[in-house]
Structure 1
Amino acid sequence: MTGADDVTGTAADAAASAGRPVELRISRSRLAANLAAARARLVPAELMVVVKDDAYAHGVEAVTAIAVEEGVRWLGAIDPRSAGRAKAVAGDRARVFCWLTLSADETRSALAEGLELGVGDAGYLERVGAAAESPAVVHLKIDTGLHRNGVRPEDWPGFVARAAQLERQGRIRVAGIWSHIAEASDAEDDASRAVFDAAVQVARDAGLTPEVRHLAASAAGWARPEFRYDIVRLGAFSYGIRSADGPEIDGIAPVATLIARVTALGHEAVEIGIGSLDGLPSTLGGRVHVGTPAGPRRLDGVGLVTSRVETWPGAAIGDEVAVFGPGTMGEASATTLGEAIGTVGEEPVLRVSPLVPRVVTD
């Protein structure tokens, strides 16, 4: 910020006086409260906390440690790296489910780490059975209409028959039947649920005895008890990220607060130490308010490494500005920021650069 606004101070001055100019703060107490509220709502189904994408950019290790301390016994991730990181922290305190289709080498590594594998492909089923040195724990996936992996209903009887044969041979143990649904409309989801129920029965008729069934993620699991079955995979809601254009969620609050410190002062605006290189979308400029010591102020513009915010009386270098969070300083939620630029609530959080420090607070 230079020129007509007559800015004083530098980012280096701010760093010297106030430490790092930007950090993503993860509230232990808010995450614990969210998990408690979720478990109370979903009971008797169990909560599976999804830790994909580095636990929605909150940090797999920190989220896993808090979750297992709060009694969560299931964690899930798409990729084996995130799942393996969660398992390394959780140990025997939680079961970890990984649902990406893996290569032979990745399968062996995942099984050695103690991961439970989502299997929605006949070829993958064979790879898992061949890789297992002891019975591999698997969850078989039926495609209920979303077409996001999973065995088609017409192929399902042969698939589960083969799984039952591998189970009798001691190569696998079928712990679960699962699927994804579109969560696009109640009617479509009801149709998917009927396909799922029929698939579970076919699996049982083939001699399988799955201990858990899981179909719903955040939205359907929260709103529709009949979709909960034995486990609900809760992703964004665990972190207090509501659905775009959706209502606030009772008992759930944003866990992460993106903090940027004031690095320079001007007559009409201050400069804060965050920009598009840190993951802040440039299109947010002029569209949203951020939180300051004086309450909400307009985000005027987003540059590469700094951004401009409408000033307030007494603004000082080193002051903290909340770009998004639970609203304690007048800031909007990540979902509100996402809605302002036509995207989902997860995106403003997931875009935060991994170089931005994650700091766990009380």
Structure 2
Amino acid sequence: MTRPELRIRTDRFVSNIAAVRERIAPSTLMVVLKDDAYGHGLRWAVDAATEAGVEWYGSYDVGSGVEARRVLGDTGRILAWVTSTDAEIDDALHDRIDLGVGSAEYLTRIVTRARAQGVRARVHLKIDTGLHRNGLLPEEWEQTIADVRAAEAAGHLELAGIWSHLAEASDAEDDDAQAVFLEAVRVAESSGPTPEALHLTASAASWWRPELRGSVSRIGAFCYGVRSADGPELDGVLPVAELIATVVTVRDDEAVIAIGSFDGIPSTLAGSHVGTTAGARELRRIDATTAVVAGWPGMRAGDPVWLFGAGEHGESSATTLAERIDTVGEEILTRLTSRVRRVVVA
């Protein structure tokens, strides 16, 4: 092996999905696929999750939703929640992708495109519960619901869901957000059927705040074994991916490995611990295409070094590395470049 490898464990992904589903039941799991399934590969993730019985997928953008639909065929439900262009709306309608809607302007464009195509668009209406990350304001909600019901009656729309994001800054703020969310659901129910998918929580709140869960929970990072920054370990959940590089040169008390900042490893991670066949060692320096690791007895060219993983060889997790540079674990995964070979090993 001359190029570094991101080795991806399907068995762990499936096991994590089972652990998450057990934790959030009776809420339904929506596996989130943003950023190419957090750097693991969208097609692999959809294949594996489908085999595990997952029916809901959060693609974030329409393009990823279209790719997921190619894998799913006629099965499964996909939600793309980023505001999209008219051409993307057309693609979503063609491939039966639900659309997250956070503004009256976007809703109008979706209805226009659905009318032009002679199809019924499935939408999830977003209420702004205080995070101000897109979403309709509470004072806009009643009129927008009326517009949605009129479009439903005309055959252009189906209100498939109501959703929002939480700030997760404090329990009290999240409780207040839930109150806004539930009032939005009440207003919708007063004018028609309750939407199938009510989803307020993502990974952290779905895991630790059961009283906030709706009928669906959007969970990305935890399914891939990436815990929250500064958060505790997750029972029954392990990192799905491990990053491995090969020793190319041995000199004195150091090993030079074939990975560097050009591969997407931040140079500021110097000083962290990596895994070797002899256990944890310090990552002393990160250069452009190589890095230097503290040596161990009997080291030689060709030996593997684990940059991150499940800790089986003394390595840190992606999130532990991220905490050193004040970011989140998924950034360590998603910034890896194409020079890192993705290999599914189980």
TM-score computed with the length of structure 1 as normaliser: 0.93
Count of residue pairs brought into register by the alignment: 343
Note the alpha carbon deviations across 1:162-181, whole angstroms, 9 max, x for none. 00000110001111111111
Cα distance in 2 for partners of 1:124, 1:159 equals 11
2:57 matched to 1:72?
no
Residue 36 of structure 1: aligned partner: 18
Cα distance in 1 for partners of 2:184, 2:136 equals 10
Residue 12 of structure 1: aligned partner: none
Deviation of the 1:83 alpha carbon: 1.8
Select the residue among 132, 135, 139 that pairs with 1:154: 139
Note the alpha carbon deviations across 1:244-298, whole angstroms, 9 max, x for none. 1110000111011011111111111111111001000000112x11001111111
Residue 242 of structure 2: aligned partner: 257
Cα distance in 1 for partners of 2:302, 2:3 equals 8
Residue 130 of structure 2: aligned partner: 145
Note the alpha carbon deviations across 1:157-201, whole angstroms, 9 max, x for none. 000100000011000111111111101100000000000000001
Select the residue among 78, 103, 110 that pairs with 2:85: 103
What pairs up with 1:45-56 in 2 under 5 angstroms?
45-56=27-38
Residue 177 of structure 2: aligned partner: 192
In terms of mean alpha carbon deviation, does 149-158 or 86-95 score higher? Answer: 86-95
TM-score computed with the length of structure 2 as normaliser: 0.97
Identity %: 52
Secondary structure, in 3 states, of the residue corresponding to 2:238? Answer: coil
Select the residue among 265, 269, 284 that pairs with 1:280: 265
Cα distance in 2 for partners of 1:83, 1:314 equals 49
2:204 matched to 1:219?
yes
What pairs up with 1:288-327 in 2 under 5 angstroms?
288-327=272-311
Secondary structure, in 3 states, of the residue corresponding to 1:329? Answer: coil
Residue 11 of structure 1: aligned partner: none
Cα distance in 2 for partners of 1:30, 1:38 equals 12
Residue 237 of structure 1: aligned partner: 222
Residue 83 of structure 1: aligned partner: 65
Deviation of the 1:208 alpha carbon: 4.3
Q: Does the 8 Å CA contact 1:21/1:272 hold for their aligned counterparts?
A: no
Q: Does the 8 Å CA contact 1:37/1:252 hold for their aligned counterparts?
A: yes
Structure 1 pair 355–92 and aligned structure 2 pair: CA distance change class (3 A): farther
What are structure 1's unaligned runs of at least 5 residues? 1-18
Cα distance in 1 for partners of 2:99, 2:25 equals 24
Q: Does the 8 Å CA contact 2:101/2:125 hold for their aligned counterparts?
A: yes
Deviation of the 1:311 alpha carbon: 1.0
Task: For 1:100, give the aligned amino acid.
Answer: V
Q: Does the 8 Å CA contact 1:31/1:255 hold for their aligned counterparts?
A: yes
What are structure 2's unaligned runs of at least 5 residues? none
2:3 matched to 1:21?
yes
Structure 1 pair 113–355 and aligned structure 2 pair: CA distance change class (3 A): farther
Cα distance in 2 for partners of 1:109, 1:250 equals 39
Deviation of the 1:74 alpha carbon: 0.6
Task: For 1:119, give the aligned amino acid.
Answer: V
Q: Does the 8 Å CA contact 2:4/2:339 hold for their aligned counterparts?
A: no
Secondary structure, in 3 states, of the residue corresponding to 1:297? Answer: strand
Select the residue among 80, 89, 93 that pairs with 2:75: 93
Deviation of the 1:91 alpha carbon: 2.1
Q: Does the 8 Å CA contact 1:68/1:93 hold for their aligned counterparts?
A: no
Deviation of the 1:357 alpha carbon: 1.5
What pairs up with 1:161-176 in 2 under 5 angstroms?
161-176=146-161
Please, what is the CA RMSD of the aligned residues? 1.0
